[in-house]
Amino acid sequence: MRITDLLSKQSIDLCVSLGSKSEAIDKLISLHKQAGNLSDVEKYKAGILAREEQCSTAIGQGIAIPHAKSDAVKKPALAAVTVPKGVDYKAMDGQPSDLIFMIAAPNDGDVHLEVLSRLMQMLMDEQFKADLVNAKTKEDFMGIIDKKEIEKFGEVIKASPKENAYRILAVTACPTGIAHTYMAAEALEKAGEKLGYPLKAETNGSGGAKNVLTKEEIANCDGIIIAADKTVDMARFNGKPLISVPVSQGIHKPEELIKKIIDGNVPVYHSDKAVQDDDMGGKEGIGRQLYKHLMNGVSHMLPFVVAGGILIAIAFLIDTVMGAPQDANFGTATPVAAWFKNIGDFAFKFMIPILAAYIGMSIADRPGLLIGFVGGYLATLGSTFAAPGGDIPSGFLGALVAGFVGGYVMLGIERLCDKLPHALEGIKPVLIYPILGLLFIGVFMCAINPIMGWLNNLLYSGLRALGSNPSTIVLLCAVLAGMMAIDMGGPFNKAAYVFGTAALTQAAATTDTAAQTTCYMVMAAVMIGGMVPPIAIALATTFFKKKFTAEERKSGLVNYIMGLSFVTEGAIPYAAADPARVIPSCVIGSAIAGALSGLFGCTLMAPHGGIFVFAVVGNWPMYIVSLVVGSVIGMALLALLKKNKE
């Protein structure tokens, strides 16, 4: 926000004569009132006087800046007077004040601090201050400030003052809600600050929505940026200029997105689908739509996978420590292990219905939740017409079909119901949609479960075959681990991770030991592939400092923690700064680590956790060796490919 945005001709008076500090305060408050900045003059004055009681706001060298935050202020504003003969404002240097600004700030926000900071920096220039005192007209006074502000802080887009300090709002979200979500929010907020357009970003992270946008902020903003790879709540933005892009563009192109809003090149949002900007990735194609719906399901499924998987892994660890035989009862042989195994299994049983439910909800909003949830549950049971209670489970694959088909069918049901009389509007979501949706998904899943169950069994057979052939399992592990490093949290990374977690669900659903072992080897390769990039970068910043800037070296230490915790996204800033060198180095390092993990027969029963779940890794010494070798190779390639930084 510009200083001149807060000034108006009505709030400026030049060459006035004031006899005392109290007279000066009254004069400036009257200017605020004249400009329409206050709803309650006496209340605001009480705030000014309370601030002056703490200590005088005269800062010396002829300058005073009284200020107060109050709910009596309608909008952030400034008043200003020049007093050529000066007035005793009780400055610490004992000198009279000949230039006085008064800041009026509402309670919601820290506008007065931002303005105070800018004014202080500008008023350090004695010539600037003298020019203001000698200004002959109000236009000259504002022009001098405008010129100096551009000179000091660069060209800033003008913005008309509003009660809400935020001119642009954003929502960021990635499927896992860990790193990309917060990186995009930070990039957008920093870019907004740089461009002089205050921006607030709501983060839809793994812990829920934070920094949530209020109705007042939405009503007052100039536009909204949605940087998300999963579905977010859009209905609240109806009637506002809105641009929707992948979360990666929020990280890499924040200034471009903000300038789109500033320039007015963003359509107004009126429908149930986000408007895509042509220059920011083009119209939303069917592939991206499907990806967003899938990631919405995956993001809600992950907590069940991670928590349930780790508890199951703990059960196996307990039985191992207790010396239980690794037979069909392994994981439940001891009472304590059985408790952990049962709780973990309960979480796993919710996983597939949750996946289908939130895919359906992403497509058809709330009506899609029922159809997806029931469809996912029928997939786990394997319901057929002959055996509605369960016969041929279709598992993960059946849940995907249930979520997508159910969601789109529900959209069709909603459109058909639009033709019903308006009097039935109230019962549609609670009666008509659920009954029609439930009938459809029941018939549909009973029809396709035999087909999807056959495909599921085919997948089991394939995994069993891979596990019996060392060369094929090593190749599969290398490919999956390499995919984890291609885009470090993007579609390739998520595809590999979803494949790994799906393998865990298959392991839990079968008693075939060979297939289970192969599934656990797949998960081990996926996790090690995600750990290598941050660790390789951390090692490179430690041992090859000349290849990185000072800021990159400082952040390198954090990557040790992120890598060991299986948070691949720690490598993103480095990959974004130098993709041609960083990404190939990380992919090769990860692929080698994955291949070695498969070669050594390392297994992992937990879907997340990094070093914190190494206790449940099968053949953990060689797993550590694989991780070290892959990370060192990645580091060596970075040192070889990257050029020295000046």
Contact at 8 Å (CB) between 473 and 466?
A: yes
With a CB cutoff of 8 Å and minimum separation 6, the contacts of 472 are 465, 466
In angstroms, the CA 582 to CA 584 distance is 6
Separate counts of helices (H) and strands (E) for the chain: 21, 13
Single-letter amino acid, residue 417: C
DSSP string for 544-576: -GGGS-HHHHHHHHHHHHHHHTT-GGGGHHHHH
642 torsion bin: left (phi>0), alpha (psi -120 to 50), beta (else): beta
Set 15, 32, 55, 67: catalytic member: 67
Residues 589, 535: contact at Cβ < 8 Å?
Answer: no
Pairing of strands 58-60, 63-64: antiparallel
The residue among 535, 490, 609 whose CA lies nearest residue 184 is: 490
Alpha carbon of residue 201 to chain centroid: 9
Q: How far apart are CA 614 and CA 626, in angstroms?
A: 13
Determine the Cα–Cα distance for residues 568 and 363; give it in Å rounded to an integer.
Answer: 29
Would residue 67 show up in a list of annotated catalytic residues for this protein? Answer: yes
Q: Which of 174, 221, 586, 602 is catalytic?
A: 174
Closest CA to 249 of 269, 279, 220: 279
CB 363 within 8 A of CB 407: yes
Active site (catalytic) residues: 67, 174
